[in-house]
Amino acid sequence: MDLGTVVAAVSSSLGLSLAGAYWLARTLVQHRLTDALEQRKSELSRQLESHKLGLSQDLERTKGQIQLELGQDKALFEAAIKREVDTQLGQMAAQRQYEYEARRRLYTAIGPLRFQLLLACRDVAGRIESFLGREHYHLDIANYYGRSTLYRLLRPLSIAELVERQIGVADFAVDPSAVVCLRFRRTITRIFSGDELVQGRPGVDWSRQAEHVFADSLAACAQALIHREASGAERILRFDEFNARLDKDGMAAVAPFDSLLDGLQVGAKPILWLRLVAYGHACNALIDRLGPGLDFESRPYPTAALLAATGDAHTNAHLAEVLGSVSAVELVAL
């Protein structure tokens, strides 16, 4: 029986004073408010639980969807990474295979020539250095010593020319030392034909080949030592073969070196002597660069003493600058 029924029964049977009626009414209202509050609280709790259940279900569905998308993204990412790795590995394998084949072709083409070039450079440096001696043979192109000197001076040029001709069949980029050989070919041209060594020097005559060699003439002289076999292979003439060629064909093939060297004295042609000393310096520097791995001994080259030996006033007055220009031209860029 609820509070309202009890109050009604009491009121009808006993009667109430005004104060008692007020108390009963107040108690009835509080009871009903408490009852309504409990009902509302229960209703809100049910709604909260229902909402929590819905949110939990939504969260699980969202979590599952995210995990599914993450799994798909992961699979796509791993597939992309695998493709990228496979591509890079394939490229690296192809590059290694190419470099291996390119090095094999390059070494086959220029391996022997590179060794010959270093030997020829040693001969040039030694021959030019020998002019510092108190006595040396007279440079007469008609005689053995003159022709031997001419042969030694031209041999590195001709070998470097053969190396350069291999560009069409070999990739020089796979071996920096092979590129050095190409740079040395250009270095020889700059030494004998360029103005790097004589900048600021008075009395330089560019109109004729008195103390320098035109670049095209230098290229023609390189051919004088090259022999083509019946098979098409090219090689450098031995000295006896070179001597026989000069006897047969004359000196035109080596011009103007025949006239430049004939009767050469150290002080007679200071500009030519400067170029020859720079040539010997560059040859010795090439040995220092490429020779250590081939058991070539590194030897000091008396560049300053050779330059001073000319007795030329301009050279001696500007010896430091001249030495700097010689060092700058020892291996020029391509």
Task: State pLDDT tens for residues 129-156.
Answer: 998 875 566 788 888 999 999 999 999 9
Cα angle: 124, vertex 319, 276; to 5 degrees: 20
Confidence of residue 265 (pLDDT cuts 50, 70, 90): confident
Question: Picking from 23-27, 171-175, 244-248, which range would have the lowest pLDDT averaged per residue?
Answer: 23-27
Q: In sequence order, which ranges of the chain are alpha helices (DSSP H)?
A: 3-14, 18-129, 144-164, 176-193, 215-223, 239-249, 257-261, 270-290, 303-308, 313-317, 319-328
Q: Which two tokens stand for residue 170?
A: 């070999």
pLDDT at residue 267, rounded to an integer: 78
Percentage of residues of the chain with pLDDT beyond 90:
54
CB 212 within 8 A of CB 193: yes
21 vs 35, more confident: 35
SS3 214: coil
Phi, psi of 223 (to 5 degrees): -70, -20
Structure confidence by residue, pLDDT tens digits, 198-210: 988 888 999 999 9
Alpha carbons 81 and 86: distance in angstroms, whole number: 8
What mean pLDDT do residues 211-223 have?
Answer: 95
Query: What letter does residue 298 receive in the DSSP assignment?
Result: P
Using CA atoms, how far apart are residues 180 and 110, in angstroms rounded to an integer? Answer: 12
pLDDT at 12 over 70: no
The helix (H) or strand (E) run that includes residue 234 is: strand 234-236
What pLDDT is attached to residue 26? 81
| Band of pLDDT at residue 307, cut at 50, 70 and 90 | very high
As a whole number, mean pLDDT of residues 177-204 equals 94
In terms of phi and psi (left: phi > 0; alpha: psi -120 to 50; beta: otherwise), the region of 236 is beta
Whether residue 91 contacts residue 247, with contact meaning beta carbons closer than 8 Å, is answered with no
Higher pLDDT, 199 or 120: 120
Helix or strand run (H / E) with residue 227: strand 226-228
Is residue 323 within 8 Å of residue 147, measured between CB atoms? no
